[in-house]
Amino acid sequence: MLEFMQKMNKMIYALALALLIVPNIVSAQKNVSRKEYKLVWKDDFKSQELDTTIWQYRSLGPRRASINAVEAIVPNRRKGHLHIRTFAQDGNIITGMLRSKAHLDQQYGYFECRFKVDEVFRGYWPAFWLQSNTFGSTKTPADDGVEIDVMEFYLGDPKLLENALHWNGYGADHKSVSQKTPIPNIADGKFHIAAVEWTPEYYKFYFDGKLVWTATSPISHRPQYVILSTEVDSKQVFINKMGDSFLDFTVDYVRVYQKKSK
């Protein structure tokens, strides 16, 4: 009997290990059909340097109450993570922002990011979002594109996940709609998954496999790019909260899926 139980335990362990390493769309299949989508690009951040065939720095220089800088992007090859670090330096707050390269711009699909945050508080927010190169140019969101915020912990209650759509530029014609979802355990030291399925008819936003919001307007019909970022809207609030320490927005992977042709 003991020998039989040992064999069974080995079989169970082998099965569990196999499930952990199933490739491709494992995390996405809870939300979208495996038969409908295919993985078209990803970054698991296994390299010692930032993969510049996939990413480029975005909006370097002053932004809100901080400065976007190359130094904020910290690859961690040993753990297979990317850190976007926010910290004080010479009286300034340093933040980071990346965008996917133009040749990876995609119209529709399933976009997913696995991440963790050290902490979130009022005025500091990490984000995973999609944007268009022609955003707000003609005030026709279907043609110009829509800012699609897949994950953002923004102003107000820091434990509220915000999903949002912004269109018509950021000036007087700016419009937006959003949904806030309580995520009380966001800074629990664990990785979480934020995702959006974007189709010609709707956006469906997911957090840790749970559908949290469906929006049907306005729909962007433009190819768009992926952004990973941190931002700060009050330098003094950040310094009072963090002093000389830093915060990491740690990204385990970004994956983009496309619907298969019928």
Residue 214 predicted with pLDDT over 60: yes
Say if 223 falls within a structural domain. yes
In this structure, is residue 5 part of a structural domain?
Answer: no
The whole-number pLDDT of residue 17 equals 37
Number of domains within the chain: 1
Which residues 6+ apart lie within 8 Å of 84 measured at CB? Answer: 72, 73, 74, 95, 96, 97, 98, 126, 228, 229, 230, 248, 249, 250, 251
Q: Which of 192, 177, 180, 115 is nearest to 153 (CA)?
A: 180
Residue 254 or residue 156, greater confidence? 254
Task: Give the pLDDT score at 158.
Answer: 76
Structural domain containing residue 250: 36-259
For residue 92, is it within any domain? yes
In a domain, 123, yes or no: yes
pLDDT at 247: 96
Has residue 26 been placed in a domain?
A: no
Q: Is the pLDDT of residue 151 over 90?
A: yes
One-letter amino acid at 163 equals: N
221, 75 contact by CB (below 8 A): no
**Is residue 4 situated within a structural domain?**
no
Residue 2 in any domain: the answer is: no
pLDDT of residue 159: 85
| Tokens standing for residue 250 | 């740690």
Is the confidence at residue 11, as pLDDT, over 60? Answer: no
CA dihedral 237, 238, 239, 244 (to 10 degrees): 160
32-41, 64-73, 146-155 — which one is most confidently predicted on average? 64-73
Q: What is the CATH number of the domain that holds 218?
A: 2.60.120.200
Q: Is the pLDDT of residue 15 over 80?
A: no
Residue type, 72: A
Residue 83 lies in a domain: yes
* Letter string b/e over residues 221-258, b meaning 16 or more CB atoms within 10 A of that residue's CB: ebbbbbbbbbbbebbebbeeebeeebbbbbbbbbbbbb
Q: Which residue has the higher pLDDT, 169 or 262?
A: 169
pLDDT at 257 over 90: yes
- Of the pLDDT bands very low, low, confident and very high (cuts 50, 70, 90), residue 223 is very high
Residue 27's pLDDT is what?
56
Residue 34's pLDDT band (boundaries 50, 70, 90)? Answer: low
Mean per-residue pLDDT of the chain: 89
**From 22-31, 136-145, 210-219, 221-230, the region with the lowest mean pLDDT:** 22-31
- What's the pLDDT score for residue 40? 97
Write the single-letter amino acid at 10: K
